[in-house]
Each structure stands twice: as structure tokens, then as C-alpha cells.
């Protein structure tokens, strides 16, 4: 992520009459196309310095830091309510699976493959399954490297396309949010019997609805204690959970002796905590 450059604009004390450091009123400045609103009580908004200088004396210069995006690019990431994310990470997998960010595991070596050499992430079953137990491949995000467990608001999103589940077994693609109290909230795209469905897993199936899509964007959003799962803008299920987010995973699995040649293409992972746009 490119950080916005910081420029400083100076204003001579003599240009003002009896100005103090915004003790009771807000001052709005327009600088290089970026507006900053500052107050003594609340500091600056997320796009400006939050450390107010001391009162300017006679002949001193009052300096205000204003974030200006380089080359007319948008300012650095912030949330709609004026807050700043405490952690954020985006990945389009164009550079593969970055070391220290992602870990791939599977229940049986050689049963699945993860290919991140084509500008996205492709999971596929490449071996034969003869087991009656659940088999899966899991791609785990290193949350500890990006702020660690997240209290409060967060948002997860992941694009999926070219989904191929079935034709006969119980097959699933899941986007996982796990919590410090061992609770869980998974967006799930499933083939079961001869049909497809979306649901959320919280230890049981909730919000199940039929679907015929093979592409979309999984989202898991928590605002306050309310957590909601979506595919695109379709709400799958909502509930409450105030526990700290402790793990983020992507998973594809087969169950009940399924030997279906399943696969999925994934792209544009995004995680943000602290506030939600």
C-alpha cells in the first residue's frame, strides 16, 4: 500500500488576531485538494496529525500537517466515520503466496494442489480420495503479522470464480473467521446431492439458501458485536459475536467419500480491522 506524502503548510501568527490553538472552535483548511478539520478536544481527523502543537507565540509559525495523495491518487486508507484502520492487508496473489503471510496445509499430501503462479490462487483436487472421512486443503492468513487478534470492527472479503463442485458428492468452499472463545463464523458455498447452496457455519448450518452462482465475493463484516456473512450484497446470515477475531482461513473440502474433481479460483483477499468503511 502506498502511503500518502505529508506536506506542511505554514501560517504566520501576524495573519491572525488573538489566535490560540483552536481551543474552542474548529478550523477548516483546504490544502492541495485535501480538507483537514482540527479541534483542540478531538485532534485532527485520520488524514492529519493527531499531536496538537503548543500555543503559537508572537512571531512564531503555526504549522499544520496535511496529508496529500501523490499524483492525485486517493489518500491513505481510512474509514468512512473518520477512524483509521488498526490493521489492513490486501492480496491479489499476483506475486504468488507471500512467505510469512500465507501457509498451505492439506489433510493428505498429493490429494490437493494450490497454484499461485497465474496471477490468482487456484485450489484443486488432483488425487483420488478413497476415505470416508473429511479431506481438505487450507490456506491460513498470518493474522499475527497484521495486528494479531482483533477486537471490535473488522471486514474480510475474498473473490471466488470458476467454482466447480460436484457432481455427486458433498463438497464445500469456505471462508473462515475464528474467534478467541473458540466460536466460528464461516461463509460456505456447497454442493450437496444434486444442488448448490450458500450458508453460514457457526457450529451448525444457518441461513441456508439455494444458489446457482459459480462466482462472487464472500464477505464477513463485524460492526460492534453484529457479524454478518454475505455473497456479494446478498446477506446469508447475521448474528452477534464480541470475541476477538483470532484466525482467518480459506478452505476447500470433500466429505463422505466424495471423489469429485473439485476446484476454485480465488482472488482479491482483503482484511481490515479497527473500523469498517
Condensed to tens digits (0 to 9), the pLDDT of residues 129-168 reads 988 889 999 999 999 999 999 999 999 999 999 999 999 8
84 pLDDT band (50/70/90 cuts)? Answer: confident
Distance from C-alpha of 81 to C-alpha of 258, rounded to nearest angstrom: 47
87-273: in CATH 3.90.1530.10: no
Domain ranges for the chain, please list them.
5-72, 87-273
Q: What are phi and psi of 144, to 5 degrees?
A: -60, -30
What local confidence, expressed as pLDDT, does residue 250 receive? Answer: 98
What local confidence, expressed as pLDDT, does residue 262 receive? Answer: 96
Distance from C-alpha of 184 to C-alpha of 242, rounded to nearest angstrom: 12
82 pLDDT band (50/70/90 cuts)? Answer: low
Q: Is the pLDDT of residue 81 over 90?
A: no
What local confidence, expressed as pLDDT, does residue 83 receive? Answer: 73
Q: Is the pLDDT of residue 118 over 90?
A: yes
| Model pLDDT for residues 40-76, shown as the tens digit of each residue | 333 333 333 333 333 333 433 333 333 333 333 333 4
| Cβ neighbours for 207, distance < 8 A, ≥ 6 positions apart | 198, 199, 200, 229, 236, 237
Q: Report yes or no: 95 and 111 within 8 Å, Cβ to Cβ.
A: no
269 or 15: which leads in pLDDT: 269
What are the grid coordinates assigned to 32, written together?
A: 492541495
| Model pLDDT for residues 175-221, shown as the tens digit of each residue | 999 999 999 999 999 999 889 999 999 999 999 999 999 999 999 99
Amino acid at each position: 500500500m502506498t502511503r500518502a506524502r505529508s506536506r506542511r503548510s505554514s501560517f504566520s501568527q501576524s495573519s491572525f488576531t488573538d489566535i490560540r490553538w483552536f481551543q474552542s472552535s474548529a478550523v477548516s483548511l483546504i490544502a492541495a485538494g485535501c480538507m483537514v478539520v482540527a479541534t483542540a478536544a478531538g485532534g485532527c481527523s485520520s488524514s492529519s496529525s493527531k499531536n496538537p502543537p503548543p500555543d503559537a507565540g508572537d512571531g512564531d509559525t503555526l504549522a499544520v500537517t496535511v496529508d496529500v495523495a501523490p499524483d492525485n491518487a486517493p489518500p491513505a486508507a481510512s474509514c468512512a466515520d473518520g477512524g483509521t484502520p488498526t490493521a489492513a492487508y490486501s492480496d491479489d496473489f499476483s506475486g504468488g503466496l507471500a512467505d510469512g503471510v500465507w501457509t498451505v496445509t492439506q489433510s493428505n499430501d498429493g490429494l490437493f494442489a494450490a497454484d499461485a503462479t497465474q496471477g490468482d490462487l487456484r485450489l484443486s483436487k488432483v488425487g483420488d480420495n478413497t476415505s470416508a472421512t473429511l479431506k481438505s486443503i487450507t490456506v491460513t492468513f498470518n493474522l499475527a503479522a497484521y495486528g494479531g487478534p482483533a477486537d471490535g470492527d473488522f471486514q474480510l472479503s475474498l473473490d471466488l470464480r470458476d467454482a466447480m463442485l460436484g457432481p455427486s458428492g458433498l463438497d464445500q468452499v469456505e471462508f473462515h473467521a475464528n474467534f478467541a472463545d473458540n466460536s466460528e463464523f464461516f461463509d460456505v458455498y456447497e454442493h450437496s446431492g444434486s444442488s448448490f447452496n450458500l450458508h453460514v457455519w457457526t457450529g451448525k448450518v444457518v441461513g441456508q439458501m439455494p444458489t446457482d452462482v459459480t462466482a462472487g465475493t464472500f464477505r464477513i463484516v463485524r460492526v460492534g458485536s453484529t457479524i454478518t456473512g454475505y455473497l456479494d450484497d446478498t446477506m446469508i446470515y447475521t448474528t452477534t459475536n464480541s470475541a476477538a477475531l483470532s484466525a482467518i482461513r480459506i478452505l476447500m473440502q470433500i466429505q463422505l467419500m466424495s471423489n469429485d474433481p473439485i476446484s476454485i479460483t480465488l482472488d482479491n483477499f482483503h482484511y481490515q480491522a479497527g473500523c469498517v468503511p
